[in-house]
Amino acid sequence: MIPNLQIDAARLWDALMETATIGGTAKGGIRRLTLSDEDRRVRDWFKATCEGLGCTVHVDEVGNMFAVRPGRNNALLPIAMGSHLDTQPTGGKFDGVLGVLGAIEALRAMVAAGYETNAPIAIANWTNEEGSRFAPAMLASGVYAGVFTPDYAWSREDRDGVTFADALDAIGYRGIEKAGERRFQAMFELHIEQGPILEDQNTMIGVVKGVQGMRWYEVTVSGQDAHTGATPMYLRRNALLGAARMIDRIDAIGQAYPGAVATVGLIENRPNSRNVIPGEVFFTVDLRHPDERELHRMELDFRAALPEVMDPLTLAFEERMIWNSPAVSFDANLIDCVHAGVAKSGYTSRDMASGAGHDAAYTARVMPTVMIFVPCAGGISHNEAESTTREECAAGAQVLLNAVLEYDARLSG
């Protein structure tokens, strides 16, 4: 019989607010970049908290952390829950963090009730999910899943030229385990939606059936630095003008494909002086679609637009894809366990796809995986104003707990 364990909403909320002070910003968000000192501090908190719940904490060679509590049958692979603790430069209190702390609260409920699962239980903290300091995103879960090599991850540099390997060593979180060596029965990831659908439809839980495909690119446009007053318009090679026209074309690509999004999120203008015509501009491109065929068409349109824009302006350009995360479908059995967890809780729910990328997109390549969403106010995320309620956080953690217990019961069969 599956026990009727209940999470403690106040305890979960207190943990969210406590960890939000590690890297907390004046506007109420969090700046906790991957492998920063703030990341070290929250990792230390995670390790101490999980050890206090009877877990053994393991760290792999790219900094992924796994807290494991024994079960009745330790010959079974552990059932994993979790997400990430790194944030955007101006991130909110819940993105990623809720998945880790919701998992901790689910485990606390088991420990408080003295309940022992059939399989061991694990909580994962994946390194560099955001990709805001070291691109690409979901870097360390990608290494775990065999998408990237450890050497590739270690060689990534931030905008200041600091490598991932050096930053990992600086905070003392390069582990001795080989990435991917520690295996799991399944992976459950709780997350805020990061979009407006659940709130708009007054629905508490999103049962996530998959993640849309994502491709990231970097573009450098080269022209000629020149004096703004002495260079006539017809002789200019203005790199910023070319970038601006491409930004408009990229937006149009996103508008042209139903269900698509297309974004330029980072731009660097050089030399960035008020009286110098820009000679070089670097910008990023983010294309997403749930259908891989449509996403490929978007890529072709983007690449065709580059010479169409740059050639008439006598500008040169370099473009490269830095990340390709294909569309993912989650495990049907785990989706059914989440449905069972929702039914037991009595919350409203709907099936949906994830518009954002998550570590679950990579773990799904090597183990059964599923995600659970809760609403966030206005669909706002990657923003200090990101907000969800205590009740919504508690609902997500309760469904997570119910679903994990359902899956554990099915293992005993």
* 191-222 residue pLDDT tens: 999 999 999 999 999 999 999 999 999 999 99
CA dist 339 and 372 (Å) reads: 10
Quote the strand ranges of 96-212, DSSP E.
121-125, 186-192, 205-211
List C-alpha distances in Å: 229 to 112, 200, 259, 313. Answer: 72, 51, 45, 19
Torsion of CA 57, 191, 157, 90, to 10 degrees: -120
306: amino acid identity, one letter: L
Residue 195: Cβ within 10 Å count:
20
CA 39 to chain centroid, in Å, comes to 15
* 227-244 residue pLDDT tens: 999 999 999 999 999 999
Low-confidence ranges of the chain (pLDDT < 70): none
All domains of the chain in start order, with CATH: 9-212+327-412 (3.40.630.10), 213-325 (3.30.70.360)
Helices (H), 257-355: 292-310, 332-345
How open is the CA angle 81-146-213, to the nearest 5 degrees?
Answer: 75
Q: Is the backbone peptide bond immediately before 136 cis, with ω within 30 degrees of 0?
A: yes
CA dist 293 and 277 (Å) reads: 39
pLDDT of residue 281: 98
CA dist 158 and 318 (Å) reads: 20
pLDDT of residue 332: 98
Half-sphere exposure of residue 389, counting CA atoms within 13 Å on the CB side? 8
What three-state secondary structure class fits 353? strand
Contact (Cβ atoms closer than 8 angstroms) between residue 61 and residue 175? yes
pLDDT of residue 140: 98
Contact (Cβ atoms closer than 8 angstroms) between residue 31 and residue 23? yes
Half-sphere exposure of residue 36, counting CA atoms within 13 Å on the CB side? 17
Angle subtended by helix axes 390-412 and 9-20, to nearest 10: 110
The label of the residue with tokens 């930004």 reads 247
Q: Torsion-angle region of residue 387: left (phi > 0), alpha (psi -120 to 50) or beta?
A: beta
